[in-house]
Structure 1
Amino acid sequence: MFILLVLIIKIAFFKESIVTALRLALALFWLGFIPGYALLLYWKHHLGNIEYMIMSWPVGLAYWGIFGYMLGYVGVVFAVQIILLPIIALAIGLYVIYRENPKHSS
């Protein structure tokens, strides 16, 4: 999926170098796919692989918008949000993995 994203970006921005396309694809992957993937782990068994990957993008982007707005409304400055939001998304994903592990379920 990442390679497809790099190819699409390289075609769209054909005058840019491959390094620029890789950087942009990595940034989009980090901002959109990774948080959505972590947040959708709870529903992984109910979705197929294609649906899971497609739904990860809008959920990840919505996560940044909604939680960023809520943290800003509470008074957390943007410089702290940049660090705090990925940590929250990864913590939620790790919690879901921990809960679904058969050794830790009650």
Structure 2
Amino acid sequence: MSLFEQLREEHQALALLSVLHRSGYAGAANSRILADYLEAIGLGALPEVVTARLERLERQGLVKLSLAEDIRVVTLTQRGEEVATGKREAEGVRRPGRDNPY
């Protein structure tokens, strides 16, 4: 993996956690909205790539994935909130700076 690809993945992971943290909907959103959000901020990815990112975040205990009919629902965990706010670090997730744009 190139440095650019690694940085992009780390930024995508941080952006996903950050938007869930700020969402105002109990830290939850569906994967389609999250994919659209990544596209809107210039971090877009194919649906299968977004799914892979979310599954990795779940394996790390940062989000919980569930299904509502055919829609994947993503919920931020306490640990995920701590990573999104910079209180904790997680492998593969960019650490937020003071001016976190996500």
TM-score normalised by L of structure 2? 0.27
Q: Which has the higher contact order (CA 8 A, sep 6+)?
A: 2
Greater Rg over alpha carbons, structure: 1
Q: Which structure has greater helix proportion?
A: 1
- Structure with the bigger percentage of strand: 2
